[in-house]
Amino acid sequence: MKLITKKQLEQLPKLYASESTQLDDKKVWIKYFTPDSSYTWYVIEGEVTQNREDLTLFFGLVDSGTDRELGYFTLKQLLEVRGKLGLPVERDLSFKPKLIKDL
């Protein structure tokens, strides 16, 4: 499965686009998860860096199951992550964009 489509890349707000927006009012566009662990990544902003799609830099909310933190992560990092059983990160195909407060 492709973790991000060209259409999603085009629609995704660029980094710092929602900087002045209150946290609860920031929109989450993409949800990634590990099917064999508790980690979930919610993408708020992102853009391709160095003209390489695998180096797309995201800003979003990372939920470890016990803690939530805002931060930066790359598509390359998501491609390398494996859960407890060795399964790769997946994109939630049924996820619809929503505000952080509605997660």
pLDDT, tens digit (0-9, with 9 covering 90-100), for 21-53:
999 999 999 999 999 999 999 999 999 887 666
Q: pTM score > 0.85 for this model?
A: yes
Q: Structural domain of residue 53, as residue ranges?
A: 6-18+25-98
**DSSP designation for 75:** H
Binning pLDDT at 50, 70 and 90, where does residue 17 land? very high
Give the three-state DSSP class for 34: coil
In a domain, 71, yes or no: yes
Q: Where is 7: in which H helix or E strand?
A: helix 6-11
In a domain, 103, yes or no: no
pLDDT of 18 above 90 = yes
Digit-coded pLDDT (tens) for 47-77: 988 766 666 899 999 999 999 999 999 999 9
In a domain, 39, yes or no: yes
In a domain, 1, yes or no: no
The count of structural domains within the chain is 1
For residue 5 the two structure tokens come to 């489509």
Report the side by side order of strands in the sheet with 30-33. 68-74, 52-63, 40-49, 30-33, 90-91
